[in-house]
Amino acid sequence: MLRFESVALRHADGTRALGGVSLEVPAGQFCVVLGASGAGKSTLLRTVNGLARPTGGTVRVEGTAIGPKTLSRIRPRIGMIHQQFNLVARSTVAENVLCGALPAMPLWRALPGLFTEAARRKACALVEAVGLGEEHLLRRVSELSGGQQQRVGIARAFMLDPPLVLADEPVASLDPQTSHDVLSLLRRQARERGATVLCSLHQLELAREFADRIVALRRGVVVFDGAPRAFGAQAFDAVYGRHADAPPADAADPAPAWQPPPSSPPQPLPGGLLELAP
Ligand code: ADP
């Protein structure tokens, strides 16, 4: 479904955001990208929908390499859920959910907001599916709580029944109980539709509870890849250890970042830890 092939991204100022990530996410998996702030989680997700362009390597969705020529075709196949919800605050819940259909609409329908009857019905059904009653349909988003707004964000993401959903720190601004409810909802909606989810989180407890698989990043490099139950103390140190926040030694070094050897991808150690080149 989703494949990262030695994906690297170095910003213009020399900051290395991704240092050669190789990863395959099979269809239907709820894969959590875990890491401390600045680890590269958001950048990794953004390379999938073209919001960040890798400086090395290739990202493939359903076998198609992401690039300027393929993006418009692939974007309707990807739902996106944002940390700050990215809703139009002054528009209604229904209007915001309908916006999820825009990537698949021709410009002449999209600009004046000429949504089909089927799209309107779908939006209503999704609003109900995410636990907001009919009475919320015409409410302005600005009147909703954070948790309710993220429910709207989830409904919008599923408007086109995308096989792949990216969720970038979807609960970072929510309280613990609401975070739990929202992730339960996201997982349920994805499972019902067979959708693959790549979800970034910085909270280990939530990753452990909701992930089928945890891929942990540190300084743009995968340091753990395995089942949540395999994420032990050693993995915790690798991800959040005392050097985790230190700037990488080669932050401004123009030399290429670590890359897995082309013929042998990084080998998992017992417990999912990956052996990294020195
Ligand atoms: P995370 O999502 O894990 O918090 P990010 O992917 O946002 O991490 O950032 C990865 C790294 O890239 C960080 O060191 C961050 O400071 C850096 N970074 C992000 N955007 C830019 C930018 N536009 N220019 C330079 N560095 C950036």
Instruction: Show the 3-state SS of the chain.
Output: CEEEEEEEEECCCCCEEEEEEEEEECCCCEEEEECCCCCCHHHHHHHHCCCCCCCEEEEEECCEECCCCCHHHHHHHEEEECCCCCCCCCCEHHHHHHHHHHHHCCHHHHCCCCCCHHHHHHHHHHHHHCCCCHHHCCCEHHHCCHHHHHHHHHHHHCCCCCCEEEEECCCCCCCHHHHHHHHHHHHHHHHHHCCEEEEEECCHHHHHHHCCEEEEEECCEEEEEECHHHCCHHHHHHHHCCCCCCCCCCCCCCCCCCCCCCCCCCCECHHHEECCCC
The two tokens of residue 218 are: 């540190």
* Number of the ligand 1 atom closest to the C-alpha atom of 44: 6
> Atom 6 of ligand 1 has which residue's CA nearest to it?
40
Query: Looking at residue 27, which CATH number applies to its domain?
Result: 3.40.50.300
Q: Using a 6 Å cutoff on CB, does residue 11 contact ligand 1? A: yes
pLDDT digits (tens, 9 = 90+) for 53-85: 999 999 999 999 999 999 999 999 999 999 989
Confidence of residue 195 (pLDDT cuts 50, 70, 90): very high
Say how many Å lie between the CA of residue 276 and the centre of ligand 1.
22
Is 278 inside a domain boundary? no
Residue 119 has pLDDT above 60, yes or no: yes
Q: What token pair was written down for 209?
A: 């509870």
Residue 256 has pLDDT above 80, yes or no: no
Total of domains in the chain: 1
| CA-closest residue to ligand 1 atom 25 | 11
Q: Whose CA is nearest to atom 13 of ligand 1?
A: 38
**Strand 64-65 vs strand 56-61: parallel, antiparallel, or unpaired?**
antiparallel
Model confidence at 106, pLDDT cuts 50, 70, 90, reads confident
Mutation probe of ligand 1 site: the residue of 11, 44, 198 with most atoms within 8 A of C-beta: 11
Task: Note whether residue 49 is domain-resident.
Answer: yes
Mean pLDDT of the chain: 87
Residues spanned by the domain of 49: 2-272
Distance 43 CA to ligand 1 centre (A): 7
pLDDT digits (tens, 9 = 90+) for 11-58: 999 999 999 999 999 999 999 999 999 999 999 999 999 999 999 999
Q: Whose CA is nearest to atom 17 of ligand 1?
A: 17
Domain assignment of residue 245, yes or no = yes
Q: Say yes or no: CB of residue 39 within 6 Å of ligand 1.
A: yes
Q: Is 119 in contact with 159 (CB distance < 8 Å)?
A: yes
Both tokens of 175, joined, read: 């309280």
Instruction: Pick the residue whose CA is nearest to atom 16 on ligand 1.
Output: 38
Query: Is residue 277 in some structural domain?
Result: no
Residue 176 domain flag: yes
Encoded tokens for 190: 């994805």
* Ligand 1, atom 1: closest residue by C-alpha: 38
148 Cβ below 6 A of ligand 1: no
For ligand 1, what atom is nearest to the CA of residue 13?
Answer: 25
The answer, yes or no, to whether any atom of ligand 1 lies below 6 A from the CB of 73, is no
Cα-to-centroid distance, 30 and ligand 1 (Å)? 24
